[in-house]
Amino acid sequence: MKVLRLLQRLVLAGLSLLGICTILATAICLALSIRPVIVISGSMEPAVPNGALVLHKQVPASSLKVDDVVTVNRTDHNGVVTHRIVAIKPEGEGRYALTLRGDSNEQNDPQPYVVTQADRLEASVPYLGGVLMWMRQHPVVTAVILLALLGFSLWPAQRFTVHTADGQVLNNLTRREAKRYLDEAKAFRDQASAGVAGGQTPGQETNHAAAN
């Protein structure tokens, strides 16, 4: 029972911590204009592994510098790419041509990316993006798991009712409390039986000893 209650407390604490972290992370991202992105390739390993959750902040292209990691739209507009800047070339009117390369790639990306602004990497959390992607792809399973954990953590402990010899009814006892009352009742019955077998009522032996 102790182990079960401990597990329930740990699960409830974990769910509470998860909820608090989610709220705080959302508030921080909104306040600082940070956008989370999930990396789905290994082109930036080992700095940014596949499945990492990266946090970006949109900045003007003029503030970018070589070695920054940025996320920009692909030249074919088919998704985005997160790579490191290896060269920057001004194009005029606030536009800059960024030459990018993944850390694990041997060559630069085929074409430069002409941008006026870009999402610059501020931080990354390895593998968290993969977990979030799985949860997004399996919302029903995720909801069932979370509800099951919540139900387990809030499931009430088993309680017992004990009827005493004098007619009292003790409700809502834990297993340990019920066992203690039952053990005490058994000990009293054993003492009473021993007293009757010896020709004494319970308590007589103690009284005689006191008199002597």
CATH architecture of 36-126: Ribbon (2.10)
Over residues 13-22, the pLDDT tens digits come to 888 888 888 8
Q: What angle do CA 126, 97, 38 make, to 5 degrees?
A: 20
- Those residues whose C-beta lies under 8 Å from the C-beta of residue 129, and which sit 6 or more positions away, are 36, 37, 38, 39, 40, 51, 52, 53, 54
Q: Give the residue from 117, 111, 101 showing the smallest Cα distance to 69.
A: 101
Residue 170: beta bridge partners?
A: 162
- Give me the residue spans of the domains in the chain: 1-32+136-157, 36-126, 160-200
Report pTM: 0.58
Q: Is the pLDDT of residue 211 over 60?
A: no
Region of 200 please: left (phi>0), alpha (psi -120 to 50) or beta: beta
For residue 27, pLDDT beyond 60: yes
- The span from the CA of 186 to the CA of 115, in Å, is 85
Decide if pLDDT at 207 tops 80.
Answer: no
The set of long-range contacts for 147-154, using a CB threshold of 8 Å and a minimum separation of 24, is 149/11, 149/14, 149/15, 150/12, 150/15, 152/7, 152/8, 152/11, 153/8, 153/9, 153/11, 153/12, 153/15, 154/8, 154/12
Q: For residue range 106-131, what is the model confidence (pLDDT) as tens digits?
A: 999 999 999 999 999 998 888 888 88
- Give tens-digit pLDDT for 159-191: 677 766 666 777 767 667 777 777 777 776 777
